[in-house]
Amino acid sequence: MGASRARQNAAHTPGSSVSTSKTGDITYKQGPDGWKLAPTSRGYTVSGPKLAVGEDAEYIVTVRQLPDAESLVFKTLQTYSDGKIDRWIQLDEEESGDGHGHGHPAPRLVVLR
């Protein structure tokens, strides 16, 4: 069993979406008051009441069995109350956004064995 911690620092963040292959293997362990995990066709969404400006949205999910891999990438969509979406989906191999290091890299979990 493994746990993954996701952290967002955002103004009024109502939630994030993460793409995974088996949503039944993931459970919500801890996070902001009133936030919940919901399975989707592409992974899961963690969302809840709006947060205060500058408040971090940090949550923990537990994964029943990690795949046999050196690392896992969690492509994440961060949605704001004004409809803006930050797409944290870039892989290491991709060009970084504007070429000045301002890209949106996907969170990566290194698997220790």
Residue range 28-72, pLDDT digits in tens:
899 899 998 888 887 788 888 888 888 878 888 887 877 888 888
Any residues with CB less than 8 A from the CB of 85 and at least 6 apart, and which? 77, 78, 79
- In tens, the pLDDT along 78-88 reads 888 888 888 88
- Percent residues over pLDDT 70 in the chain: 70
Token readout for 27 is 């459970």
Superfamily classification of domain 2-110: Uncharacterised protein YcnI-like PF07987, DUF1775 (2.60.40.2230)
pLDDT of 7 reads: 46
Counting every residue, how long is the chain? 113
